[in-house]
Amino acid sequence: MQASKTTREKVEAGLRRRRRREIVFQLSGMLATTVGVMFLGVFFVDLFAKGSTAFMQTYIRIDVEFAEDVIAPDGEIDLAYADFDGLVRTALRNEFPAVSGRSERRELYRLVSIGAGYQMRDMIEAKPALLGSKETLWVPASSTVDMYVKGNIDASIDEALRPLSDAQVGWIESLRESGRLESRINSALFSNGDSREPELAGIRGALMGSVYMLIVTILLAFPIGVAAAIYLEEFAPRNRWSDLIEVNINNLAAVPSIVFGLLGLAIFINWMSIPRSAPLVGGLVLSLLTLPVIIIASRAAIKAVPPSIREAALALGASRMQVVFHHIMPLALPGMLTGAIIGMSRALGESAPLLMIGMVAFIVDVPSGFSDPATALPVQIYLWADSPERAFAERTSAAIIVLLAFLLVMNLTAVIMRKRMERKW
């Protein structure tokens, strides 16, 4: 027997241990991934379970009369003071003639959303010829009826503990039996602005606010970011100052977003007196926020262009500007655009800086320009999550689904763009 082992024996002795370690390492990696995917799965399942019902809404069919003596008492249609709610109430009373007594009638009226009256007003405004006619309308049910139909209110518990009385449950069931109650697609969710009535509340206002803000952000942040990146990479001398600028840009990318909100409040609103709550201010603040992200991504993209291309162009007599615009930019653009889109999707999800500049507000009218008051999608989610009315819970989840869909589309665009335009050296 030899005193010392050969190399081969030494390796074989340790082999089992090394293999075991390998397996443990791979397993822990798999475990970490599984845990991550599981959390994501729970989040999505919960979100869709809660939010998917919000895309449907209960409607009630009523037979209304555009009564001349109510809408046009003096012969002319009086939109501002006509009692459209009264006409809806008359229709409900006709449907349930047995209901009498003040408090019972009040309960009956609560089955239908106050949106029914607005709907009638809009109809007669669009078509005055309806005056005096009888129409059959599908109007939104109130949010408590909707919650009951969706199974979120348990009719078997004590009457005092639930928002619907026994009588109301009876009326709903009789409406359902006679086919006067139907679940339909909740178009209000996409066509309306915010409302305190859950059945009328929609995300259109918030969505438009986000769109206007992102337009301002991209128009400002992209050109400035790309210009800064080109200057820093291609023209700026390498010295202490450019190092300082680089460190600062990297730091800015990590600053908590609320700080940008405070900055925006001080500069854009207090000093430059741009109106509060306007998408213009929001866009300016968000462009400050995304600027570092775009600069960093654009610099990385420029760096990735091989020096041989620059040198070849310079050798053929191109000026430095021609080098940049004819050769570097086309090659670096996919990377720059990817950075811009990632910056935009971060901006889309921000709500903290908007708090400081007055965009966390109740705004019903859908904004139609850059200076109209507006909110943004994440803010709408925050406001709905804080509302006492039960039906806002599902709308909160629905708004989150819409926000996630937008983020997904934006990030997917970035990935596809990179895949299609990228050049490998």
Partner 1 sequence: MLASVVVTATVSGTAIAQAGRDYIYIVGSSTVYPFATVVAERFGRGTEFKTPKVEATGSGGGLKLFCDGVGVDFPDIANASRAIKQSEVDNCASNGVTEIVEVKTGYDGIVIANAIAATSVNLSRADIFLALAREVPGENEGELIENPYKTWSDVNAELPDVRIEVLGPPPTSGTRDAFVELAMEGGCTSIPWIRALRNTDTDSYKTICHTIREDGAFVEAGENDNLIVQKLEANPNAFGIFGFSFLDQNAEKVKGAKVDGVAPTFDAIADGDYPVSRPLFFYVKKAHVDVIPGLRGFLREFTSERAWGDEGYLSDRGLIPMPEEERGSVAARVRDLTPLSMVSQ
Q: Which is nearer to partner 1, 33 or 368 (CB)?
A: 368
| Residue 197 binds partner 1, judged by CB under 8 A | yes
Residue 26 to residue 4: CA distance in whole angstroms: 34
d(CA 323, CA 327): 5
Q: Is 388 in the site for partner 1 (CB under 8 A)?
A: yes
- Among 363, 377, 398, 399, indicate the residue that binds partner 1 (CB under 8 A): 363
Of 360, 377, 381, 402, which lies in the binding site for partner 1, with binding defined by CB under 8 A?
Answer: 360
Q: Closest approach of Cβ 373 to partner 1, in Å? A: 5
Nearest-approach distance from CB 97 to partner 1, in angstroms:
23
138 binds partner 1 (CB under 8 A): no
Q: Which stretch binds partner 1 (CB under 8 A): 166-174, 324-332, 383-391, 398-406?
A: 383-391
15-to-6, 9, 23, 27 alpha-carbon distances in Å: 14, 10, 12, 18
The answer to whether 139 and 88 have CB atoms below 8 angstroms apart is: yes
Stretch that binds partner 1, among 13-21, 62-70, 245-253, 380-388 (CB under 8 A): 380-388
Half-sphere exposure of 405 (CA within 13 A, CB side): 10
272 in contact with partner 1 (CB under 8 A): yes
Closest distance of CB 227 from partner 1, Å: 6
Candidate residues 80, 129, 315, 316; the one interacting with partner 1 per rule CB under 8 A? 80
- Among the listed ranges 37-45, 252-260, 363-371, 412-420, the one in contact with partner 1 (CB under 8 A) is 363-371
Question: Cβ atoms within 10 A of the Cβ of 48, count?
Answer: 14
- Other residues' Cβ atoms within 10 Å of the Cβ of residue 49: 11
386 makes contact with partner 1 (CB under 8 A): yes
Q: What is the CA radius of gyration of the chain?
A: 31
Number of chain positions touching partner 1 (CB under 8 A): 44
Judged by CB under 8 A, does residue 260 bind partner 1? no
DSSP assignment string, 277-338: T-HHHHHHHHHHHHHHHHHHHHHHHHHTS-HHHHHHHHHTT--HHHIIIIIIHHHHHHHHHH
Q: Is 130 in the site for partner 1 (CB under 8 A)?
A: no
Figure out which of the listed residues 90, 165, 183, 195 binds partner 1, where binding follows CB under 8 A: 195
H or E stretch including 10?
helix 7-51
Site for partner 1 in 158-187 (CB under 8 A): 160-163
Among 221, 183, 172, smallest CA distance to 342 is for 221
> Within a 13 Å sphere around the CA of 137, how many CA atoms are in the beta-carbon half?
27
Region from 16-24, 183-191, 328-336, 357-365 binding partner 1, contact rule CB under 8 A: 357-365
Structure tokens at 375: 């909110």
Pick the piece of the chain touching partner 1 (CB under 8 A) from 32-40, 67-75, 169-177, 353-361: 353-361
- Asked if 76 is part of the footprint of partner 1 (rule: CB under 8 A), the reply reads no
Amino acid at 39: F
H-helix or E-strand spanning residue 181: strand 181-185
Residue given tokens 């082999």 in the structure block: 15
Closest CA to 202 of 357, 369, 57, 407: 57
Q: Does 83 bind partner 1 (CB under 8 A)?
A: no
Based on the shown chain and the rule CB under 8 A, indicate whether residue 72 belongs to the binding site for partner 1: no
Q: Which of 165, 183, 371, 411 binds partner 1 (CB under 8 A)?
A: 371
Q: Decide: is 42 part of the binding site for partner 1 (CB under 8 A).
A: no
DSSP H or E segment with residue 185: strand 181-185
Applying CB under 8 A, the span of 21-29, 46-54, 89-97, 192-200 interacting with partner 1 comes to 192-200
Binding segment for partner 1 (CB under 8 A), chosen from 39-47, 189-197, 239-247, 249-257, is 189-197
H or E segment and range at residue 32: helix 7-51
Residues contributing to the site for partner 1 (CB under 8 A): 80, 106, 114, 118, 154, 157, 160-163, 195-197, 220, 223-224, 227, 268, 272-278, 280, 284, 358, 360-365, 371, 373, 383, 385-390, 393
